[in-house]
Chains A and B, each alone.
Chain A
Amino acid sequence: GAGVSQSPSNKVTEKGKDVELRCDPISGHTALYWYRQSLGQGLEFLIYFQGNSAPDKSGLPSDRFSAERTGGSVSTLTIQRTQQEDSAVYLCASSRYGGQNTEAFFGQGTRLTVV
């Protein structure tokens, strides 16, 4: 597709269940980012991929969060044993190279609600 695609667009899950969020970046973009936006908060950095490797996982809030990227393309963010505080919009972005002067294009986000 022409833009960054995320699925599902909405996810409601019960506390304690695991969820997987998917991101399809723009074709050819080597850099991929996950951010989340909680209610009333700015965009919080979670993890950055360059190709398939993640040089910076510093934003992942706990060990319940993990992410992988395969084939330098699709990425999956997994949240295990979800908690109510995990409720947020999870945004994926990609950019051509990941450095300065490269614009990051965002997907529409996945709204996660943990009940």
Chain B
Amino acid sequence: DQQVKQNSPSLSVQEGRISILNCDYTNSMFDYFLWYKKYPAEGPTFLISISSIKDKNEDGRFTVFLNKSAKHLSLHIVPSQPGDSAVYFCAALGGSNYKLTFGKGTLLTVNP
């Protein structure tokens, strides 16, 4: 029973364009959401987060949008760069407030 779903296993985008990575969740107890980025043979690194009291959080080229009613969040990267090519994991916290629940990840490829 997947509580955090990333339905697109991969996404390919041209350099300079916008990358939109989507994530859906089912557990209404989740109230804090994070995006992690993972390069091959490395551990995931934290990218950006959003609390459920907000609907948008921006950090440089990265913006996360949260639609609580739809239980949906998305990560926008603009402009996309080849170095952004990685697997992006959506993760959620709630209830216990310590156990991150991860999606399966989306492989983003940014083509030069």
Number of interface residues of B (CB under 8 A): 28
Q: Using Cβ atoms and an 8 Å threshold, which residues of chain B touch A62? A: none
Most chain A beta-carbon contacts within 10 A, residue among B6, B31, B93: B93
Instruction: Give the number of residue pairs across the A-B interface with Cβ within 8 Å.
Output: 66
User: In the complex, A59 Cα to B43 Cα: how many Å?
Assistant: 19
Within 8 A of B (CB), among A10-43: 31, 33, 35, 40-43
Contact partner of B45 (CB less than 8 A), chosen from A35, A106, A109, is: A106
B46 and A43 contact, CB distance less than 8 A:
no
Bound Cα distance A82, B100 (Å): 26
Q: Which of these, B51, B100, B101, B105, contacts A104 with CB under 8 Å?
A: B100
Contact of B32 with A101 in the complex, beta carbons under 8 Å: yes
Interface size on A, residues (CB 8 A): 27
Task: Say yes or no: B43 contacts A91, CB within 8 Å.
Answer: yes
Name the residue of chain B whose CB is nearest to the CB of A111.
B41
Chain B residues positioned under 8 Å from A98 (CB to CB): 98
CA distance A4 to B97 in the complex (A): 21
Q: Which residues of the other chain, B, contact A41 by a CB distance below 8 angstroms?
A: 104
Contact A43 B97 (CB under 8 A): no
Give A92-108 as 1s and 0s: 1 = Cβ < 8 Å from B's Cβ atoms. 01000011110111111
The 3 closest A-B pairs by CB, nearest first: A106-B43, A43-B102, A42-B104
Residues of B in contact with A (beta carbons under 8 Å apart): 2, 4, 6, 31-32, 34, 36, 41-46, 49, 51, 89, 91, 93, 96-105
Instruction: Give the interface of A toward B (CB within 8 A).
Output: 4, 31, 33, 35, 40-45, 48, 50, 56, 59, 91, 93, 98-101, 103-109
